[in-house]
Every structure is written in C-alpha cells, then in structure tokens.
C-alpha cells in the first residue's frame, strides 16, 4: 500500500474544505502555567459529527469514481467513523451501509440513521464478514476507519490546519487507536516542521501501539479492553504501524485516572466537551511535562461525543 504524502494531504484539504469546519485552536493560561509550556489544542470536538473522523470519511467518499460512488459505501463501526461515513455519504448523495454491533449505543444509531444511512446489525465477531458480503453483493466500496490511505490523508488535514494556525510548534500530540490520525499527523508534521517530534497518546489499558513501536513488531489488539476512551479500542493498523515506525513516532501511555482528570479539566476550566479518547492528549502532556518545558505544543482534541458517565464516577 502506498503511504499518503503531503501532496495527498494538501489535496484532501482542498477537497473537503467546503464541507468541514476549520476548527478553532484554544489555549489555557492555567494549563500553560502548570506545564511551564505553551499548549495549543485543535478543537476537532467542534468538527462536523463531533470528531476528526469527518475529515477522513469525506476525503474517501469524495475520492471515489462516479461509478464506484453510485454503488455506495460500507464500513463497520460503532463509533464516530459510522456517523462520519453516513454524513459524508449524504453530502455526496450516495448510499451508505454501516455494520454495527447489536449493543451499539442508541445515540450512535440515531446519528447514523439521521444522516440517512442504512444499519446492518450483527454480532461483533461477524462484522467483517458482514461488510465483505455487502461489498460482494452490492459492489459497495469498503471505507475502513483507518486502514485506508484516503482516510489517513483526510485525518492528516487537522494537523495541517493546526500547523498553519500556530506557527513554530515544537511537538505535536494526538490520540492513537487504529492510528489513522496519528499516522496522518506524522506525515503533515514531518514535511512542514521536520524537526518537531510527533507523540501518540494511548490509554494504558489498550497499549498495543506503545508495545508495537517499542518492540518494532506490531502487537495484536488488546482483548476485551477496559477503558473509558471508547474511540481507541481498536488495535493499531498495519499501514499506520509502518508509517509511525518509519517516522520514529513515540507513544505515551496514560492511566484511566489521568484521562478522567484531563477530561474534567477541559470541561471545568476550558468549558469544552471532549470525549475521554480526546482527553488522552492532555494526560500525555502532563505525564511528559518535564521534557516538554518551555516548548510550543500542538495537540488534537479528537472528538466530543460522550455520555459524561466519567464525570460523576
């Protein structure tokens, strides 16, 4: 598989620009004082569908040929990618089918059907087979949530904007689950700010990306993971593992307590809703505060879709 390049990212940015928000970048003087650094957060929680996933899904959908698009798209997802693909398909006016687990949250189901997509419910273990059947029977294009160069290039546009909005960043941090956002970010950063390291923030409970990059061998996804960061449950994808290793990206793991404290800080002090998956970036900055002192840090608040169960835990 060809890895996306900065040209792909720039093309993605031009393609999706009429439909996505150029999300704002926020700061907190209180946090900067705590960290002894300057932290800039890109608010993809304020993005369409409430997450950066809108970028990758739309880039993939708009990149399909007319014939392929007419046959529709399909993906399995119980989270933000499902809503993003449904939203992107509605923009292009093409059929969209999402395979979801039978226990998917009613809110996510409503979001997907609200954009006019069809849902196929099936047990979690059969979701890949269900997708393949729909690809076979309807000729639908599979839009994988992270193992897809067009999706990765789309996710990378968030970091590209951040680099434009905040000159002179010394380091950039994003959450890592399947790795599409982190890999895309590493591509954008390497070519715009070649000396700036890129960090991934990963819940300790699903630390396969951390172990994969530490050992140089992609590790299997954690089985039955328990973390509040429900957007980061999947294992690191193969393409993304290759990109991250090639770019020398490092992953920082964070505890559940640190994730909740970070989400609460953003809510109470910055007055913004971030989902626990997004709060991992702040937790990672805090755990690395000593090595980040004095630096200009860019970070991506990846999404804001949460039921707030963590708030009164």
CB of 34 to its own copies, least distance (A): 13
By CB under 8 A, what part of segment 9-38 binds its own copies?
Answer: 24, 26
Burial 52-91, CB ≥16 within 10 A → b, else e:
bbbbbbbbbbbbbeeeebeebbbbbbbbbbbbbbbbbbeb
Q: Which of 136, 271, 290, 294 binds its own copies (CB under 8 A)?
A: 271
List Cβ neighbours of 90 (8 Å cut-off, separation of 6 or more). Answer: 96, 115, 116, 117
- Chain positions 251 to 270 lying near its own copies, rule: CB under 8 A, are 267-268, 270
Q: Record the tokens describing residue 248, joined without a space.
A: 């020398």
3-state secondary structure at position 65: coil
- Assess 311 for contact with its own copies (CB under 8 A): yes
89 a catalytic residue: no
CB 54 → its own copies: shortest distance, Å?
Answer: 13
Contact segment (CB under 8 A) with its own copies among 43-51, 159-167, 254-262, 279-287 equals: 43-51
- Binding to its own copies (CB under 8 A) within 44-103 occurs at 45-46, 50
d(CA 261, CA 105): 24
Active site residue 53: yes
Please choose, out of 68-76, 190-198, 200-208, 271-279, the segment that lies near its own copies by the rule CB under 8 A. Answer: 271-279
Q: How many Å apart are CA 274 and CA 266, to the nearest integer? A: 7
Q: How far apart are the C-alpha atoms of 105 and 193, rounded to whole Å?
A: 40
- Does position 308 interact with its own copies (CB under 8 A)? The reply is yes
Of the pair 217, 308, the CB lying nearest its own copies is at: 308
For its own copies, the closer of residues 135 and 267 by Cβ is 267
Please report, in angstroms and rounded to a whole number, the separation of the first and last CA atoms in the chain: 43
Question: At its nearest, how many Å lie between its own copies and the CB of residue 301?
Answer: 9
Q: Which listed residue (63, 79, 237, 304) binds its own copies by CB under 8 A?
A: 304
Strand spans (E) along 47-113: 73-76, 96-101
In the list 82, 151, 272, 281, the residue contacting its own copies (rule: CB under 8 A) is 272
Of 78, 89, 212, 277, the catalytic one is: 78
The label of the residue with tokens 């630390």 reads 207
Contact, 145 vs 131, CB < 8 A?
Answer: no
The residues binding its own copies (CB under 8 A) are: 24, 26, 45-46, 50, 267-268, 270-274, 304, 308, 311-312
Q: Which active-site residues does the annotation give?
A: 53, 78
């Amino acid at each position: 598989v060809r890895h996306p390049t900065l040209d792909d990212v720039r093309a993605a940015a031009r393609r999706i620009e009429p439909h996505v928000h150029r999300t704002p970048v926020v700061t907190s003087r209180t946090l900067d004082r705590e960290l002894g650094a300057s932290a800039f957060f890109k608010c993809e929680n304020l993005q369409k569908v409430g997450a950066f996933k809108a970028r990758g899904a739309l880039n993939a959908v708009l990149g399909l040929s007319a014939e392929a698009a007419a046959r529709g798209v399909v993906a399995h997802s119980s989270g933000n990618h499902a809503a993003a693909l449904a939203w992107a398909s509605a923009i292009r006016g093409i059929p969209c089918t999402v395979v979801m687990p039978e226990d998917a949250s009613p809110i996510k189901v409503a979001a997907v059907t609200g954009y006019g997509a069809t849902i196929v419910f099936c047990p979690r273990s059969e979701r890949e087979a269900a997708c393949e059947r729909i690809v076979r029977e309807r000729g639908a294009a599979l839009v994988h949530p992270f193992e897809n160069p067009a999706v990765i290039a789309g996710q990378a546009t968030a970091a590209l904007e951040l680099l434009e909005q905040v000159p002179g960043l010394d380091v950039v941090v994003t959450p890592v689950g399947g790795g599409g956002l982190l890999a895309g970010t590493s591509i954008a950063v390497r070519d715009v700010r070649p000396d700036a390291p890129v960090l991934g923030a990963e819940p300790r409970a699903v630390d396969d990306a951390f172990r994969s990059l530490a050992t140089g061998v992609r590790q299997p996804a954690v089985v039955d993971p328990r973390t509040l960061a429900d957007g980061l449950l999947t294992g690191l994808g193969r393409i993304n593992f290759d990109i991250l290793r090639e770019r020398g990206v490092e992953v920082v793991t964070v505890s559940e307590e640190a994730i909740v404290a970070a989400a609460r800080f953003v809510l109470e002090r910055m007055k913004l809703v971030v989902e626990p998956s997004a709060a991992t970036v702040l937790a990672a900055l805090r755990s690395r505060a000593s090595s980040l002192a004095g630096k200009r840090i860019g970070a991506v608040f990846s999404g804001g879709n949460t039921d707030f169960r963590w708030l009164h835990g």
